[in-house]
Structure 1
Amino acid sequence: MIAETDAELAVRAARAGAGVVRAMYGESLTRYDKSAGDFATAADLEAEKVILDVLLTARPDDAVTGEESGRTGAGGTGRMWLVDPLCGTLNYAARSMLVAVNVALRVGTGVTAAASADPFSGEVFWTDGERAHVRRDDVDEELRPSPLSRLVDVNLDPPFPNEPGFRAVRLLADPEFVALFRPRVVSTTLAVAWVAAGRRAAYVTDGHLRDSVHFAAGIALCQAAGCVVTGIDGRPPHTGTGGLIVAADQETHAALLRMTANQAR
């Protein structure tokens, strides 16, 4: 019997979580306050429980960091699963279907497998660290980034560690941004996977994202698909001032980098 790869396990775990999210959609769910303006629902907790069960049953010697439960598992091998069971909780609670279920495996300093599942389309965006695909009805299609839509998602949620030098919302009023792009604010990292899939030209956010359960899967997908992925200062991810610019091509990335640099002047 062929052993299940880490990438296939990530897909299976993300699908299991997505099944819970889909099944509980529309219910009157208990909310659990975490911080000002941030909360989890019973769906977040149940989806994370199912995902962790899949991962730790298959890889009992690995560690897991879940958004809701924190760190669990052994973790003596340098293998850490990063789990965001429901990215877009506020969307979900408002009965909007723009959410994602994110699972990523960090081995050492790099993410070697990741999956981002859309519970409502049934699509799973996944990577083995080398190439990126979308799986629909158990058929895989390679992801191909494209700038043609000109749609750029901008994350407007706090925290804003780089203000006053940079504030994502100011991009929306930048004359060059208005001339080149069309803004979107989806408020879920599903939009990062959409850059890899060619459905968005770019995605921009502030924040410190190393080992982020929200962003690890999307960043890995975009890197494997050949997107341009840097911090908001153009440096490699998780260095410099942090933040994230993911773009379908060099031209789109260069334009957004100019606009972020303009804010700091």
Structure 2
Amino acid sequence: MQGSANLNLMKKAARKVGRALVKDFREVENLQVSSKGPGDFVTRADREAEKALREALLGDRPTYGFLGEESRETEGVDPTRRWIVDPLDGTTNFLHGLPHWAVSIALEHKGEIIAGVIFDAAKDEMFWAEKGSGAWMNESRLRVSGRRAMHESIFATGVPHSGKGTLPASLQDFARLSPVCAGVRSWGSAALNMAYVAAGRFDGYWERGVQPWDIAAGLVLVREAGGMVSAIREGDDPLVKGSIVCANDPLFEGFRRVIRGE
């Protein structure tokens, strides 16, 4: 599956930046035992990664807009197309030497995400999707899981730290969901949570207080893998309201009702 010119540009940029981050990741592991600590180093690595993505994507598509986690939004000459980028999703994992983080790139056209790439460089897993062309991991076609019962299913989320206002609601979500499912996982990367739903590794994912760059690429991945995606509140746009719930079709409504407390 070759993909469009835009998708190939996204994959090439993600792979280049991901490989550079792998080298930085090895250095972070060394810094864990040093007196200096890895914090400042990771901040620089994150910013350099976004700079490299900006140069690669806008270098080939200079009229597109650009929204990244580490820099201000750039409005494009073409108002209908925008790159949405998280250069290092899972920064805390990266900082602690945990090999679960990713480069995430999405392409938005007229308010809709039409292509997405999530590159787990530490594991060399490239998740990618384009509207109408399915979802893939490397060269393997992806499908969401086939489980139909909540009590057999594993769900993923992000656990907010104490400073986030979403903590009380998230703890209530846990209290409602945990008794009716097979388990809840929090692995520290929203992008990979959605990629894993697309791959059938997780049966569903929800989170409150997410940013557009956290979930943009995952939206098209899950949908192209046959899954359902919405904001937690009916009628909201996940990219605008910053909440998300996704799962396969048989589980989706029941899962969303539990998260809503209905």
Is this a same-fold pair by TM over 0.5? Answer: yes
Alignment RMSD (CA, Å): 2.8
Counterpart of 2:34?
Answer: none
Partner of 1:5: 5
- Mapped to 2, the partners of 1:142 and 1:232 lie a distance apart of 28
Specify whether residues 255 and 240 from structure 1 end up closer, same or farther in structure 2 by C-alpha distance, changes over 3 A only.
Answer: farther
- Cα deviation for residue 97 of structure 1 reads 0.8
* CA–CA distance in structure 2, aligned partners of residues 133 and 89 of structure 1: 25
Judge conservation of contact 1:154–1:169 (CA < 8 Å) in 2.
no
User: What is the CA-CA distance between 1:242 and the residue it aligns to?
Assistant: 5.5
Query: Measured at CA, do residues 51 and 247 of structure 1 come closer, stay the same or move farther in structure 2, by a change above 3 Å?
Result: same
Residues 140-159 of structure 1 aligned to structure 2 (within 5 Å): 140-148=139-147, 150-157=153-160
Q: Equivalents in 2 of 1:236, 1:73: separation in Å? A: 24
Identity of aligned residues (%): 27
Residues 206 and 160 (structure 1), Cα distance of their counterparts in 2 relative to 1, 3 Å cut? farther
Q: Does 1:58 align with 2:60?
A: yes
CA distance in 1, matches of 2:127, 2:68: 19
- Distance, in Å, in 2 between the alignment partners of 1:107 and 1:26 is 37
Q: Rate the CA distance shift 1:41–1:132 in 2: closer, same or farther, 3 A.
A: farther
- Matched letter for residue 97 of structure 2: R
Relative to 1, partners in 2 of residues 1:255 and 1:160: Cα closer, same or farther, differing over 3 Å?
Answer: farther
CA drift at 1:249: 2.8
Q: Distance in 2 between matches of 1:62 and 1:261?
A: 37
- Equivalent residues in 2 for 1:29-44, closer than 5 Å: 31=39, 41-44=43-46
1-structure distance, mates of 2:24, 2:100: 15
Report the Cα offset of residue 208 of structure 1.
6.0
Deviation of 1:120 after TM superposition, in Å, equals 0.9
Specify every segment of 5 or more residues in structure 2 that has no aligned partner in the other structure, as ranges: 32-36
Q: CA deviation at 1:231?
A: 1.4
Relative distance call for 1:64 and 1:248 in structure 2 (3 A) is same
5+ residue gaps, structure 1, are: 33-38
SS in 2 for 1:72: coil
1:74-89 → structure 2 map (5 Å cutoff): 74-89=76-91
Q: What is the TM-score normalised by the length of structure 2?
A: 0.83
Question: What is the total number of aligned residue pairs between the two structures?
Answer: 247
SS at match of 1:25: helix
What is the rounded CA distance, in whole Å, between the counterparts of 1:40 and 1:70 in structure 2?
19
Q: Deviations over 1:92-150 (max 9, x none)?
A: 000001111100011111011110000111111111122333343xxx22111005472
The change in CA–CA distance for 1:172 and 1:24 in structure 2 (over 3 A counts) is same
With normalisation by structure 1, the TM-score equals 0.82
Alignment of 1:26-175 (within 5 A): 26-27=26-27, 28=31, 31=39, 41-72=43-74, 74-136=76-138, 140-148=139-147, 150-157=153-160, 167-174=169-176
Asked if the contact 2:154–2:181 (Cα under 8 Å) also holds between the matched residues in 1, the reply is no
